[in-house]
Amino acid sequence: MSISFRGRLLAATLCAGVAAAAAAPAGAESLSDAIALAYQNNPTLQAQRATQRALDETYVQARTGWRPTLTMGGSLSYSENRVPKASRSVDTNGDGQPDSFGNFGIFESNQGRVGLTFSQPLWTGGRVAASVNAANADILAGRENLRRVEASVLVSVIQSYADVRRDQESLRIRQENVKVLTRQLEESQARFDVGEVTRTDVAQSQARLSQAQALLQTAVAQLAISRAGYAAVVGQNPGDLDPEPSLDFLMPGDPDEAFKVAEQHNPQLLAQGYSVEASKARIAAAHAERMPSVSGQVTYGFSGPAIPDRPADAFQRDLYSRGVTATVSASVPLFSGGLVSSRIRQAVERNTSDRVTLEGVRRSVLQNVTQFWSQLLAARANITSSEEQVRAAKIAAEGTRQEQQVGLRTTIDVLNAEQELRQAEVNQVSSRRDEYVASANILALMGRLEARNLIPGAEQYDAAKNFRKLRITWGWVPWEEPIGILDQSLTPYPSHAPSDRPEEKAIGPGLGAAPSEPPADNPATH
């Protein structure tokens, strides 16, 4: 992002924050609009999708252990030997005649070779099968991590949306407070001019007005901060935001249901479960390194002779011989200096670490569900209390002003009543925001905060689509499947292919209408 663009974004955010309560854009913006935009364009989410597509390639790379390879090789050689003059009369072949090395004692020779080699693994002792199963488990874990990132982004969208709504309302309350205290100061000054109150009453009104103005500027700054956070996660500055829609259609009835759903569908927990399966498959792969391997090879090529004193003849096509060689070879590891045993122990300990981590993740998920459920209950209780507080504070403020008119209350009593009313209104707004954000966090932990539940009308990103395309792609051969079956079964260390966990059905009706088509240039749908 360039400096000029950052400057324009900051200026737009600040200006919009100052003018938010004074003028609203023509079109209202809903939470479903914000979620749809972030779902299509959020860079964190797009980067994770690209990471998952890159992870899909590890499955293809693992299966290449069952696929043939075809290589082409060739060589051209030229040699020249210069024999010393004193050695030219030596009889080296025993024919009774001195050897001849040409007119100048130089021996030249050329040789050429070119060929194609086709290699096919026939049995790897289970090595490739275990690697394929480990890659498959890693991919499934990656999909769950993508779900986790998606939920995190959607929580950020909901939180930033609720923050902007809260701060817009807080700014309105602070502006109203300044207006009321300005009128109070004018009234106190007028009454002082006619001798009804003292200079102290005027000073008290002035002090409270100054405090209210400072709080107003703080509210303006806080709104600008919230708008910047919204722009960062959604991709555009917020406009006139509609009230937050209800999330009750996704919420559990009690914490026990939340715990149960989280244990079954929490993406972080599922990802760690797949990691356990991947490391278990790598134990089998480490054991399989002790097994023999069998492969076949066919070579088809041409080679030319080395003809002394006739170097040009070695490159003539009619002098080349053609040959075909077929070989089946077996390799049995006997001693590796302890390398294989070390790799087995390493794989076992990594699997142990993954299994222990799985329990830690489960406890963390349950702890977080408890934490946010408690925050939800507290926020709901605060909403009820703050509503009653606002109702009572309005009555108290109005009564105090009327009693001041007949001399039963002082100026400070009126100022205190106004302050309590504004603080109660701010508390009410904050409690509503806290309740909504806590609900979103609970849904994220349960694995329900997904675009398919919130904006079912929008086009959904299918993480498995790219993987399905790679299942049969360039390099696949028909005999790969039976070789894979043999490699998987004919081994004393078999590994098991991971299976998809049951997915919770989509829950409707969603938050509202959303765009049905993503932008044409959106790389996330490619």
How confident is the model at residue 163, as a pLDDT? 97
Is the pTM for the entire model greater than 0.95?
no
Answer yes or no: is 254 within a domain. Answer: yes
Which is more confident, 101 or 30? 30
**Burial (0-12, 13-18, 19+ Cβ within 10 Å), 495:** buried
Given a cut of 90, whether residue 366 has pLDDT beyond it is yes
Whether the pLDDT of residue 21 is over 90: the answer is no
Asked, for residue 49, whether it belongs to a domain, the answer is no
Q: What is the pLDDT of residue 105?
A: 60
Q: With contact defined as beta carbons under 8 Å apart, do 110 and 319 qualify?
A: no
CA 470 to chain centre: 21
Model confidence at 161: pLDDT above 70: yes
Residue with tokens 């919130």: 454
Distance CA 313, CA 304 (A): 9
Confirm whether 515 is domain-assigned.
no
Query: In the predicted model, is pLDDT for residue 398 greater than 70?
Result: yes
Query: How many Å is the Cα radius of gyration of the chain?
Result: 39
Average pLDDT over residues 374-392: 95
Residues spanned by the domain of 193 = 55-76+108-305+315-332+360-453+461-495
Q: How far apart (Å, rounded) are the C-alpha atoms in residues 443 and 371?
A: 13
Bigger pLDDT: 423 or 312? Answer: 423
Give the C-alpha distances (Å, rounded to integers) separating 375 from 313, 327, 404, 449: 90, 71, 41, 18
- Establish if 526 belongs to a structural domain: no
Query: What pLDDT does 321 receive?
Result: 79
For residues 124 and 62, the answer to whether their CB atoms sit within 8 Å is: no
Domains identified in the chain, total number: 1
Least confident of 114-123, 362-371, 497-506: 497-506
pLDDT score of 168: 96
Say if residue 322 is exposed, middle or buried (CB neighbours under 10 Å; 0-12, 13-18, 19+).
Answer: exposed
The domain that holds 171 is classified in CATH as: 1.20.1600.10
Average pLDDT over residues 37-46: 96
- Whether residue 15 is predicted with pLDDT greater than 80 in this model: the reply is no
Which pLDDT band holds residue 406 (cuts at 50, 70, 90)? confident
Per-residue pLDDT at 517 exceeds 80:
no
Higher pLDDT, 502 or 397: 397
Q: What is the percent of the chain where pLDDT is above 90?
A: 67
Poorest-pLDDT segment among 8-12, 177-181, 227-231, 378-382: 8-12
Asked if pLDDT for residue 115 goes beyond 70, the answer is yes
CB 166 within 8 A of CB 380: no
Higher-confidence residue: 13 or 236? 236
Reading the block at residue 366, the tokens are 């349950």
Could you read off the pLDDT of 313-362 as tens digits, one per residue?
545 556 667 888 899 999 999 999 999 999 999 999 999 999 999 999 99
What was the pLDDT predicted at 476?
87
Predicted confidence at residue 13, as pLDDT, reads 44
| Domain-embedded: residue 96 | no
In this predicted structure, which of 6-10, 108-112, 367-371 has the lowest mean pLDDT?
6-10
Identify the band that residue 377 occupies on the pLDDT scale cut at 50, 70 and 90.
very high
CA distances for 507 relative to 193, 251, 452, 510, angstroms: 67, 10, 8, 8
Of 94-108, 192-206, 271-285, least confident by mean pLDDT is 94-108
* 45 located within any domain: no
* pLDDT surpasses 60 at 462: yes
Distances 72 to 256, 258, 300, 480 between C-alpha atoms, Å: 65, 61, 10, 22
Residue 122 lies in a domain: yes
| Structural domain contains residue 82 | no
**Average pLDDT of the chain?**
86
Residue 16's pLDDT is what?
Answer: 44
